[in-house]
Amino acid sequence: MGKVMTVEEVVGRLESGMTIGIGGWGSRRKPMALVRGLLRSPLRDLTIVSYGGPDVGMLCAAGKVRRVVAPFVTLDSIPLEPHFRRARQDGAVEFTEYDEGMFMFGLLAAAHRLPFLPTRAGLGSDVMRVNPHLRTVSSPYEDGEELVAVPALTLDAALVHLNRADRRGNAQYLGPDPYLDDLYVKAAAAAYVSCERLVDTADLLKEGPVHSLLVSRSMVTGVVEAPGGAGFTACEPDYGRDEEAQRRYAETPWEEYVRSEQS
Amino acid sequence: MSRADVCVVACAEAFRGDGEILAAGIGGAVTVLGARLARLTFEPDLLTSDGACLLTGDVPALGEAPEVVEGWLPFRDHLWLVLNGRRHVMLGASQIDRHGNTNISCIGDWSRPRAQLLGVRGAPGNTRCDPTSYWIPRHSPRVFVPEVDVVSGVGTDRGAYGLRRVVTDLAVLDLGGPGGTMRLVSAHPGVSVEEVVAATGFELEVPAAVPETRTPTAEELRLLDEVLDPRGLRHREVPEPRAGEAGRARGGGSAGEGGPAREGGPAREGGSPG
């Protein structure tokens, strides 16, 4: 029935070495309250699967990450993510670098419990060179076209942040773009949803149309009410990106930033 | 008329003849303006977006919200449209070689880069599945290199769907040279062929006669000044060259980062798939 948890309870269900998908896109609707919970935890050696933003940067800076799976890592208004950048240049993290469309097909394959999905995206590029695990398949039909077989991005856990949810895990986005959050949830063995505000199930459709009900409770393990829980990233229409806070994050040395956040 | 105006019109020309497809200018302000200017003038059936998930019914100024919305294209549908192909994308690049292979991923050895940039983003799929053009705001040997460090966008020798044109602050180029190599199409007013060749770090196909890039019409200038970019953001991306400025071959940006990643190119605010 009720699945309401605290951030600490969600983090307590995760283990070192897990593959964790993080929703949102760049510096938009990232589940930062849950990410900050990961930062405070003893977890390590995580594989982070993300259209990357400050979630990836912070977890790299805190030494939580063994591998990043991403097509990019950016803060949007600040193009280059400073901590991911440093981690890559120091050789501190492994990197699976996919094309944006390949990445979505990896989530779709996992969501449909398929071993892979074929696509043209990636063919001819160095994505094939830097990911020697990737294989191609030939179409079994007359065209015989060779395609990339994107392996399923199956997740041990998914962390997403939506605008509203009920106590059973039905979750709703109210901004203009769902991003790929439903796919992360469907691709994961366990999905944890944080939200701006918990509401009664009967009130969900007072907030937005039926199409805004992005995530079904049947896919959700835990729900956290975390007002402001995407900050400093954007969470429209509840709030936009806090550019000043993001700039401070990007420009402050990591240890100093962590201290200032704790004070 | 400024150099930036010439560049915007040269980018707009990339979309000529495209018809009813999405003109996705995502390599900086000049590419956005190029797509919108083409739609407002000679290519009225084009679709353009707000840089995120709205297809705009009108054609707003840079940074302004549309008053009319004609469609919804969330990021997942951008990724679908890339595979569908009804999209002509104008991207940025930190490096580009003579076959039009481009790099926005990192500089140096991929396994331990000297400079991590954005990541490949959508460049592999875009270039394999869609017509693609490039906008390079600073034409220099740092960007036009013999070999890119990481092939993010594929070139003519790696199965590109169709590379239409490369617009820079100095010239217009295409891949119409021998074996799909880069060829000089026109030099912007005030730019010599020698200057373009010197700023290009590989052998460039140069026709016997190189025309001057088309200059904007009075109506195009009015649209840029009054409708699309009244704040003049294009001039920040393309500063007016100083008289006698040359020798780009010896100058040019910080090591390996002369490209748009530093200037907000491929990771433009709006951050929609590209």
Cβ–Cβ gap B160/A119 under 8 Å: no
Q: Is the pLDDT of residue B98 over 50?
A: yes
Question: What is the number of CB-based contacts under 8 A between chain A and chain B?
Answer: 149
* A262 confidence band (pLDDT: 50, 70, 90): confident
For A32-68, write each residue's pLDDT tens digit: 999 999 999 999 999 999 999 999 999 999 999 999 9
The C-alpha atoms of residue A72 and residue A50 are separated, in whole angstroms, by 9
Q: How confident is the prediction for chain B on average, in pLDDT?
A: 91
Q: Which two tokens stand for residue A177?
A: 């773009």
Q: Which two tokens stand for residue B39?
A: 């739609």
Q: DSSP letters along A196-232, please?
A: EEE--GGGHHHHS-GGGEEE-GGG-SEEEE-TTTTTT
Q: How confident is the prediction for chain A on average, in pLDDT?
A: 97
The answer to whether residue A124 is domain-embedded is no
Asked if A72 reaches chain B (Cβ–Cβ under 8 Å), the answer is yes
Strand B87-91's sheet: what is its strand order?
A: B22-25, B87-91, B131-136, B162-168, B171-177, B181-187
Q: Considering only CB atoms, which chain B residues are within 8 Å of A54?
A: none
Q: What beta strand segments (E) does A5-81 contain?
A: 19-22, 46-50, 65-70
Q: Is the pLDDT of residue B196 over 90?
A: yes
For B127-161, write each residue's pLDDT tens digit: 999 999 999 999 999 999 999 999 999 999 999 99
Interface test with B, best of A60, A74, A99, A145 (most B CBs within 10 A): A99
| C-alpha dist (Å) from residue A125 to A117, B186, B240 | 18, 29, 36
The C-alpha atoms of residue B274 and residue B268 are separated, in whole angstroms, by 10
The answer to whether residue A143 is domain-embedded is no
The answer to whether residue A170 is domain-embedded is yes
The answer to whether residue A146 is domain-embedded is no
Average pLDDT for A102-111: 98
Q: Which of A88, A120, A177 sits opposite B116 (nearest CB)?
A: A88
* B242 confidence band (pLDDT: 50, 70, 90): confident
| C-alpha dist (Å) from residue B156 to A137, B174, B227 | 23, 11, 37
CATH topology of domain B3-241: Glutaconate Coenzyme A-transferase (3.40.1080)
pLDDT of residue B271: 59
* Closest residue in chain A to residue B130, using alpha carbons only: A121
**For chain A, percent of residues with pLDDT exceeding 90:** 98
The residue assigned the tokens 């070139």 is B155
Q: Is the pLDDT of residue B258 over 50?
A: no
The C-alpha atoms of residue B81 and residue B239 are separated, in whole angstroms, by 34
Average pLDDT for A137-162: 98
Q: Is the pLDDT of residue B269 over 50?
A: no
Asked if B106 reaches chain A (Cβ–Cβ under 8 Å), the answer is yes
Q: Which two tokens stand for residue A253?
A: 């040395």
The answer to whether residue A175 is domain-embedded is yes
The answer to whether residue A144 is domain-embedded is no
For B60-84, write each residue's pLDDT tens digit: 999 999 999 999 999 999 999 999 9
Average pLDDT for B172-197: 98
How many domains would you assign to chain A?
Answer: 1
Residue A259: count other Cβ atoms within 10 Å of its Cβ.
11
The angle that helices B29-40 and B3-14 make with each other, rounded to 10 degrees, is 60
For B4-51, write each residue's pLDDT tens digit: 999 999 999 999 999 999 999 999 999 999 999 999 999 999 999 999
Q: Is the pLDDT of residue B264 over 70?
A: no
* A153 confidence band (pLDDT: 50, 70, 90): very high
The C-alpha atoms of residue B89 and residue B86 are separated, in whole angstroms, by 10
CATH code of A40's domain: 3.40.1080.10
- By residue range, what is the domain housing residue A224? 7-115+153-257
pLDDT of residue B248: 66
The answer to whether residue A148 is domain-embedded is no
